[in-house]
Amino acid sequence: MNERFLKLAQETDVWCDQHFAGDDFYDLRWEEKFAELIVRECAITAGLMEHQGRKNIGAAILDSFGVGE
């Protein structure tokens, strides 16, 4: 797994353990939080690139996660 994904997964583990330990829907909450963190990372990358007037934002997001086009 890409290092960025691993970091986000670890952040998700910590957050879910603090907020949903013992919850019957822990796995669902984990998946939702992980997806949220990925979307936030994408938005940050896109916003920074847009602010800099750069193009190919989608490619930059894929690169930041180590995902090929």
Q: pLDDT tens-digit profile of 17-54?
A: 999 999 999 999 999 999 999 999 888 888 888 888 88
Q: Considering the entire predicted model, what is its pTM?
A: 0.77
3-20 vs 26-51: helix crossing angle, rounded to 10: 130
Q: Where are the domains of the chain?
A: 3-64
pLDDT confidence bin for 1, thresholds 50/70/90: low
| The pLDDT of residue 67 is above 80 | no
Angle at 36 between CA 61 and CA 40, to 5 degrees: 40
> Higher-confidence residue: 69 or 31?
31
Q: Give the separation between CA 44 and CA 22, rounded to whole angstroms.
A: 32
